[in-house]
Amino acid sequence: MVRLIRTTQEIISLRETQGKEVGFVPTMGNLHAGHISLLNEALKNCKIIYFSIFVNPKQFGPNEDFKSYPRTLEEDVKKIEIASLAYPDKEIFVYAPQKPEEVFSEGHNETVIVAGLNDILEGKIRPGHFDGVSTVVHRLFEIIRPAKAYFGLKDFQQYRVIEKMVADLQMQIEIVGMPIIRETSGLAMSSRNQYLSEKEREEALTLKRALDAVKKIIDGKRENIIKAKNYIHEVRSDKRWNYLEIRDALTLSSEITESSHLTLLGVFQLRSTRLLDNMQVELK
């Protein structure tokens, strides 16, 4: 059963009648297979699932695509209904607030800042972005009070920011990170892929290919990192790269001499579309 709810008050009342064991999938809508993989995992593990669709104004910069971000609620609900057909005994509540004031009351002025992770990599290029993300996720957690929440690992830095927020604030919520879902070409699924032309879709593969190449060069061996860094230096002469970095997988620090798990993070930009991807590397 899928039920669409447009007000926060209704969610709060509903939650008073339910136990703690609910799963939560936060999204900004315009659903693709990546989002549905989060829903499927929640369906497998939880009896009651909340699925939010909210384009959060706080995480967009002044010159970003907040206004034009694709809003496709009707199609999204259909996709959720189709995914839930295999789980007839589960209850799914789609929380799609009609306006931002449903989430942030008028004059709302609190910001949750995950210091140290909010101003590096994506946060350096998009100042305030992660503060907007942590603030909305914190607020959604307050409203929904889930036991588990599901996030895609494509936005790896976001996943680490949320994980850190939950740990720091001792929120009793399990953060589940789900693998990147890719198109057959290898391109990581993203709502923003639809902005790409056919030619750009081909160019976009540069991102995944570079990550694959760096991973192959490292080959699980610390002594190869220097070679990988040289390769990155060469690749980065293409100005379409915003960044391509080797970081510690846990802290996202560039200090990796003691790291056993690395994350390769890249952003490749085609016109105004910034494509994000990442890959994990374990050192032997």
Catalytic site positions: 35
Q: Which is nearer to ligand PAF, 61 or 220 (CB)?
A: 61
| Residue 216 CB coordination number (10 Å) | 12
C-alpha 67: how far from chain center: 20
The reply on whether position 28 binds ligand PAF by CB under 6 A is yes
Token pair recorded at residue 252: 């996202």
**Size of site (CB under 6 A) for ligand PAF:** 10
Q: Which is nearer to ligand PAF, 259 or 278 (CB)?
A: 278
Segment 57-86, which members bind ligand PAF (CB under 6 A)? 59
Among 112-120, 129-137, 218-226, 263-271, which window interacts with ligand PAF (CB under 6 A)?
Answer: 129-137
Single residue of 37, 40, 56, 84 touching ligand PAF by CB under 6 A = 56
CB of 35 to ligand PAF, least distance (A): 8
> Distance between CA atoms of 222 and 160, rounded to whole angstroms?
23
φ, ψ dihedrals at 244, nearest 5°: -150, 110
Single residue of 41, 131, 155, 277 touching ligand PAF by CB under 6 A = 155
Contact 240, 249 (CB under 8 A): no
The reply on whether position 259 binds ligand PAF by CB under 6 A is no
The reply on whether position 27 binds ligand PAF by CB under 6 A is yes
The reply on whether position 133 binds ligand PAF by CB under 6 A is yes
Single residue of 137, 181, 210, 246 touching ligand PAF by CB under 6 A = 137
Which own/partner pairs from 153-156 qualify as long-range (CB within 8 Å, at least 24 positions apart)?
Answer: 153/177, 153/178, 153/179, 153/180, 153/278, 154/34, 154/180, 154/181, 154/188, 154/189, 154/190, 154/276, 154/277, 154/278, 155/276, 156/263, 156/265, 156/278
Best CA proximity match to 42, nearest among 25, 18, 63: 25
Q: Which is nearer to ligand PAF, 31 or 43 (CB)?
A: 31
List interacting residues with ligand PAF (CB under 6 A): 26-28, 56, 59, 133, 136-137, 155, 158
